[in-house]
Amino acid sequence: MDYQLITTKEELAAYCHRISDATYCAIDTEFVREKTYYSLLSLIQIATEKHMACIDPLAIGELSPLIALFQNPNLVKVFHSPSQDLEILYQQFGILPDPVFDTQLAAAVLGYTHQISYAELVSEITGVKLEKKHTRADWSRRPLSSSELDYAMDDVRYLLPVYRHLNQLLHDKRRYSWIEQDLANLSIESNYQIDTDNLWKRLKGVQKLKGVELQIAQDLCAWREKVAQHKNRPRRWITGDDSIIEIAKRKPADMAEFNTIRTIPDKALARYRQAWLDLVRRAVAKDASTWPTPHKPVKLDAHQQAIADCLMALCREIADKNDIALATLVTRKDIDSLILNRKSSRLAQGWHFEIAGQYLLEFIYGQTCIVAENGNIRVVPKLLHQKTAE
């Protein structure tokens, strides 16, 4: 199927109207973000069964005709691993496409490799081998070659048959309900909003800080985020994590002390040290009761670790039985969470509970035993196991 290259708002409005009665469409984006805080949306590719379009946001500028399409409740928007696409679209439009279908998520509960790539999934379902020659293209450059545009359009061209195949399998195997909530979560706006108060938790080396040092780190991270947004520059261009950690540790009381911190580049020091000094002084003056507290993960004791090993072995058996990757069903972190705080674990909710969690909890509560038999592991009621043993 040929595609239309759309470079004007009028063409975009006409295309959106043309596909408004479709029941599903494939969407992908191309962007660059190496030198900016905000991603530069450079292409939007859309395909339905009858119409394909490559939309040039840099030429059009004003993309409002897409909003109605994204919010059409009768049009399923199909992506593959869409977190970055959705983040960029939310940044661009202030809204999120809804409803959304993620082919990577669907594939995960249908026996395909965990977090399978688009190219691998297309190959397995359609037999088509996609080229990789433009993976590092600068999508903001103009003009783009016909080869680059064709490459970009392949990201939606084959997404349509992949969606049809996976959607049919989900219904045939009665597994659509397994991913329904996860799909709905993709369109929750708060998932794409920056919580500046908690950015400090992502700092490399933050576990070395304590007390007021954490307050300084929290305030520096929030300050850096605002400056990066205002200047539209990557966070690391404003100041690096290592510099924030060092400032928090040293708690400089004057300009001279700032000059002794070697991890801070001279240009950044000259530009921002007064702001940093003011920030450190305000942080130190805050009441200790308001300082952020580090999260200290609770570790399993030796007995609990043995239980976790048994549960993990059982999960391998359950994953094999249901033809899904173990990593799709459970991680060791999920097992630990179930043992430590059963209600909050992913295994206590939804389809994870249905096919695995309920059996794991029965074992934890002492209602069942895990038995090895003929090289396989299975769960049996405790009384039955006792009678067999006798």
Residue located via tokens 């999960």: 315
Distances (CA, A) of 86 to 90, 91, 215, 238: 6, 8, 32, 26
Question: The tokens of 247 are what?
Answer: 């400032």
Q: DSSP per residue over 284-311, as a string? A: HHS-GGGS-----PPPP-HHHHHHHHHH
Q: Is residue 137 a contact partner of residue 150, using CB atoms and an 8 Å limit?
A: no
pLDDT at 389: 44
pLDDT at 390: 43
Q: What is the CA radius of gyration of the chain?
A: 26
pLDDT at 244: 97
Q: Is residue 154 a contact partner of residue 130, using CB atoms and an 8 Å limit?
A: yes
Over residues 327-345, the pLDDT tens digits come to 999 999 999 999 998 777 8
pLDDT at 76: 99
pLDDT at 382: 60
Cβ within 8 Å of residue 333, ≥6 positions away: none
Cβ within 8 Å of residue 162, ≥6 positions away: 80, 103, 121, 122, 125, 126
Q: Is residue 377 a contact partner of residue 320, using CB atoms and an 8 Å limit?
A: no
Alpha-carbon gap, residue 157 to 368, rounded angstroms: 50
Q: Is residue 212 a contact partner of residue 251, using CB atoms and an 8 Å limit?
A: yes
What is residue 200's DSSP assignment? G
What is the pairing mode between strands 100-102 and 40-47?
Answer: unpaired
pLDDT at 134: 87
* Domains parsed from the chain with CATH numbers: 3-192 (3.30.420.10), 196-290 (1.10.150.80), 302-389 (1.10.150)
Question: The tokens of 286 are what?
Answer: 């805050």
Q: Output the CA torsion 184→187→190→195 (10° steps).
A: 110
Task: Give the distance, in angstroms, between the CA of residue 334 and the centroid of all CA atoms in the same chain.
Answer: 17
pTM: 0.91
Task: Write out residues in the chain with pLDDT < 50, as ranges.
Answer: 384-390
Distances (CA, A) of 132 to 102, 136, 147: 22, 9, 11
Q: Is residue 381 a contact partner of residue 372, using CB atoms and an 8 Å limit?
A: no
